[in-house]
Amino acid sequence: MSLIADSTSLALEAALDLRLERQQLLASNIANTDTPHYKPVDMEFEGALRDAMGPGEASMGPVTRSDRYHLGDGTNFTPAEPTLVERVDVTNTLDGNGVDLDQEMARYADNAIRYNATLEMVRRRHGILTYTIMKATGG
């Protein structure tokens, strides 16, 4: 198994991809705050990440290699299409718009913080792997 394509690195990559996609959805909701009859859309993030990781990675049970193609190159980490849900925060507006700007901004900020935290984990993991490789090769 490659150091770069291990399950942790691939899970972090899938999380970053899904966080970025969710950020775009939330930004679209904010941009459509004044659009009549607009219904805000969000994604089921945890379910999408679990689907992207595959059934063996989502459970906390032991990981076994029952076939020579399992866990080898990380090809089982293909992000699935996330489930999009229509979320109506406000129902009593004259124009039928369901966006609550305050709640949407809070979700946007929360997702940005989580994206940055995941990005920091990737950065630190890369640093650890780089350090390990340098020490192993005598650098």
Q: Is 98 among the domain residues?
A: yes
pLDDT tens per residue across span 84-131: 889 878 888 889 899 999 999 999 999 999 999 999 999 999 999 899
pLDDT of residue 59: 44
CB 99, CB 90: distance < 8 Å: yes
Number of compact structural domains in the chain: 1
CB 41, CB 86: distance < 8 Å: yes
Best-predicted range by mean pLDDT among 8-12, 79-83, 110-114? 110-114
Strands (E), 12-98: 41-43, 84-86
Q: Is 53 among the domain residues?
A: yes
Q: Is 107 among the domain residues?
A: yes
Q: Is 2 among the domain residues?
A: no
pLDDT of residue 102: 95
Q: Which domain holds residue 125?
A: 7-136
pLDDT tens per residue across span 33-78: 999 999 999 998 766 667 766 655 444 444 455 554 454 444 455 5
